[in-house]
Structure 1
Amino acid sequence: MATDQQERQQDETLVLKTISSSGQLVRIDADEFVAFPQSGQRKASRWIPSKSLSIFVLLPVLVAGIYNFVIATPRYTSEVSFIVRENKANTGVAALIGEGGLTRSDEASYAVVTYLESRDAVKFLDSDGMLSSIFSGASIDFGSRFPSWINGSSFDEFYKHFQHYYDVEYSSTTGIVSLETQGFTPIDAQKIASRLLEGAEKLVNALGDTAKADAIRLARQNVADAQTKLALIQKEITDFRNDSRLLTPDVEMKMNSEIITGLMSELSTADAQLSQLLQGSPDNPRVKELQLRRDALRDQLDQFRARLSGSDNSLTQKMEAYSEIFLRKQIAEKVLVNAFATLGKAELDAAKKQLYIDEVVTPGVSDVSEHMRPLLNVFLTLILTFSAYWTVKTAWELAMDEG
């Protein structure tokens, strides 16, 4: 009896549940049954689209619209474009192949772009307080004013803040540097563009002056080196003449050669006369005289030959040493002449303007503010806030479903 009652109670505690995947009914014990939340509780735990959309999307867009269209100070733009040109002389091979003349300088253009994007350009803009006065005006809104509690007060913060108010681009195809500046009045935008252009011109002039100064300095150094080398060689020649006791070894060599030639001619004549006497009248008293003369000529000839090339101290050895020194002297003289010519050309080129800026578009004055920038700011705010809203909403729903 007790057993039947226990079995009946156990059957009453079982519930049926349909498994959607198999369509079968299974029994679940009462103590394993999990109560699901009611529909009201389920709705309370879900994301509320209307409120969240208003808070995370519509409110930021509204604030951005009020700031950009009501509070923000209008901005005006000024544009300037220029080419950095280089005046090259047509000389040497360049003249033969038609190169040189007026060309653009890519190296100087890159240097100008780097300068315009640097802190030095901002320092030059504010050298007389012009840039600070533009950004610190009472009519400037709190988001654009500097210094302010939003943008800071240091120079580095000012430099970073000013990066949003101008843009520099360089076209490697055309060689044109384009500069666009922004100001809170048309005149301010033009002032900033004109001042940056002035800074670029000063940089280009400095680069040109540095290049010309380096060329002249190098040419003068080459002249000085050539003069020093020639002076050393000249001193070496003087020492050689003092040691060898020869004023001009080449002249001495020529004189000795002429003497040897004359002695050989006289010796040949004496031999011929002596041979005739010996054949015709061997006992002639002149035979002895001619023999003595012939022997004397031979001795003189041997002496001059020995002086010319018979020992280490001969004229030939001295002439060889002198020729080597004299050749170096001739080379040094030519080097000195070329150095003076290079110096003259460098000084002549220095009188010309090698690098300069050729303006394509002069800084202008815009009478219309940038209407598209506020619209773009509001649109970007809408995109960013809606993306963030959708990401958070999706993550929240996934977390709630798993919970």
Structure 2
Amino acid sequence: MQRSDEKSPAAPAPANGPKPAGGQQAPQAPKPKAAGQGPAAPVAPAQVPPTVPRATVRRRHIFALFSFVLLVAIPTAIGAWYLWTRAADQYASYVGFSVRKEDTSSAIELLGGITELSGSSSSDTDVLYKFLESQRLVRIVDAELDLRAIWSKADPDIDPIFAYHPPGTIEDLLDYWERMVNVHYDSASGLLDLRVNAFTPEDAQAIAEAIFRESTEMINALSSIAREDTLRYTREELEVSVERLKAARTAMTKFRNDNRIVDPEANIQTQVGLLGSLQAQLAEALIDVDMLTGNSSTTDPRVEQQRRRVEVIEARIAAEQDKLGGTGGDSDTVFANILSEYEGLAVDRQFAEEAYRSSLAAFDSAQAEARRQSRYLAAHVEPTLAEASEYPRRALLLSLMSLFLFLFWSSLTLVFYAVKDRR
């Protein structure tokens, strides 16, 4: 029998090892397997990631650095050297102007001294804008100032990029003009602003003044052409009416000279009065004949004399009637024909006079309209004289060049490595 005071075996005490840092509980020892369960499986060790090796310079890095120096750093340094040591200073002269039109609205406002300065005509300003970029203006200014000599003051051997290469053709000069003369046109306000570059302040101002002067002459020519267009039709009508009036008056003068009559109507009135007088004399003579016939014999010489008087008066009346419109006389001396010809000439002269007065009034009105709508060039900025050079803008040009080269190098590098990685 087993003794009652025999103690059972005690459980093993936990190991008093050091606790892990951070207050974490240490992993417990595996519990013993119960009797009859077999041996315990071995515990797998923890997976530790491999250590990253230290970065080293590779050939691709050297290639990228070399291409950056070759495509970006060296060209930028060359550009900076050229801009600050070779490029000549340029001076700018500014001028601004617009085409204006002075328009008087009515004769009443004209008498009151009220005039309206209307806005610039867009069509005239468009024409002027094209003129400022035309070969014609380049030829005129070159003949006046010798642009080739002005723009080649910077030695092309030292500054081949910004200097003009003489002599060159007119097309070369026009291309360089577009580089040195900048024209800004504000279509909303109709203002034209110019910037003229040259290698001395005086040359820049002289070119700007020449441009303004030639632009003024061109606008004056346009105004003169418009005025002539307005007056041409009315002037032609006036000339035709003047010639017609001259012809009518000449025909009237010839008629008076041929017929020796100044006013046929007055002559007719005289003839009518003469006929009336003859009719009265004829009536009186007939009465005398009747009285003598009743109081004396037929052989009385007084009766024969009165009858002879009546015959003479009747013959005279017939002759005068033939002159007025009868058929027995000469047609050239018949007053009816003369009066008809005179009335035709008078109508022609009256019509010519009315046409002349109408044409003259239209011409005067066209002249007033042409004077009322006169164009001129108004400068809101006179040609300026520079005191310091503004161009070329070296910092801006160098920055843009560096940015472009960097973008080009970046794109080229990315494409190169993308193609290489695909392979």
Matched, 1:134 2:150: yes
Shift of 1:215: 3.9
- Name the counterpart of 2:417: 397
Change over 3 Å in CA distance of 1:231–1:49 after alignment to 2 = same
Encode CA deviations 1:261-303: one digit per residue, 9 max, x unaligned. Answer: xxxxxxxxxxxxxxxxxxxxxxxxxxxxxxxxxxxxxxxxxxx
SS at 1:180 equivalent? strand
Matched, 1:340 2:355: no
1:3-402 to structure 2, matched below 5 A, reads 48-91=63-106, 101-106=116-121, 107-137=123-153, 139=155, 141-147=159-165, 153-230=168-245, 332-344=352-364, 354-370=374-390, 373-402=393-422
Matches of 2:103 and 2:168 in 1, distance apart?
Answer: 46
Matches of 1:162 and 1:350 in 2, distance apart?
Answer: 36
Matches of 2:135 and 2:408 in 1, distance apart?
Answer: 35
- State the one-letter code of the partner of 1:120: R
Matches of 1:176 and 1:203 in 2, distance apart?
Answer: 17
SS at 2:387 equivalent? coil
Change over 3 Å in CA distance of 1:72–1:372 after alignment to 2 = closer
- State the one-letter code of the partner of 1:333: E
- State the one-letter code of the partner of 1:136: S
Contact 1:85–1:103 under 8 Å retained in 2: yes
Change over 3 Å in CA distance of 1:133–1:225 after alignment to 2 = same
Encode CA deviations 1:343-396: one digit per residue, 9 max, x unaligned. Answer: 445667878993322221111112122167212211221222222222322322
SS at 1:369 equivalent? coil
- State the one-letter code of the partner of 1:188: D
Matches of 2:197 and 2:393 in 1, distance apart?
Answer: 12
Contact 1:47–1:393 under 8 Å retained in 2: no
SS at 1:84 equivalent? strand
Matches of 2:365 and 2:160 in 1, distance apart?
Answer: 59
- Name the counterpart of 1:36: none
Change over 3 Å in CA distance of 1:56–1:234 after alignment to 2 = same
Encode CA deviations 1:58-112: one digit per residue, 9 max, x unaligned. Answer: 222222212222211111111111222223344479979x996433432332222
Contact 1:47–1:397 under 8 Å retained in 2: no
SS at 2:102 equivalent? strand
SS at 1:105 equivalent? coil
Change over 3 Å in CA distance of 1:332–1:63 after alignment to 2 = farther
Structure 2 runs not aligned, ≥5 long: 1-57, 269-325, 327-338
Shift of 1:53: 1.2
Contact 2:154–2:199 under 8 Å retained in 1: no
- Name the counterpart of 1:316: none
- Name the counterpart of 2:303: none
Matches of 1:138 and 1:239 in 2, distance apart?
Answer: 81
Encode CA deviations 1:17-71: one digit per residue, 9 max, x unaligned. Answer: xxxxxxxxxxxxxxxxxxxxxxxxxx65799211111111222222221222221
- State the one-letter code of the partner of 1:119: Q
Matches of 1:46 and 1:396 in 2, distance apart?
Answer: 13
Shift of 1:126: 1.0
CA RMSD after TM alignment? 5.6
Shift of 1:167: 1.3
| TM-score normalised by L of structure 2 | 0.58
Number of paired residues? 350
SS at 1:126 equivalent? helix
Change over 3 Å in CA distance of 1:131–1:240 after alignment to 2 = same
Percent identical residues = 24
Range 378-387 or range 337-346, more displaced: 337-346
Shift of 1:220: 2.5
Shift of 1:401: 2.9
Contact 2:91–2:391 under 8 Å retained in 1: no
Contact 1:46–1:397 under 8 Å retained in 2: no
Kindly name which structure, 1 or 2, has the bigger radius of gyration based on alpha carbons.
2
Matches of 2:114 and 2:183 in 1, distance apart?
Answer: 30
Matches of 2:67 and 2:346 in 1, distance apart?
Answer: 99
Structure 1 runs not aligned, ≥5 long: 1-42, 257-306, 308-318
Change over 3 Å in CA distance of 1:118–1:105 after alignment to 2 = same
Contact 2:104–2:373 under 8 Å retained in 1: no
SS at 2:379 equivalent? strand
SS at 1:153 equivalent? coil
SS at 1:113 equivalent? helix
SS at 1:73 equivalent? coil
Matches of 1:128 and 1:239 in 2, distance apart?
Answer: 62
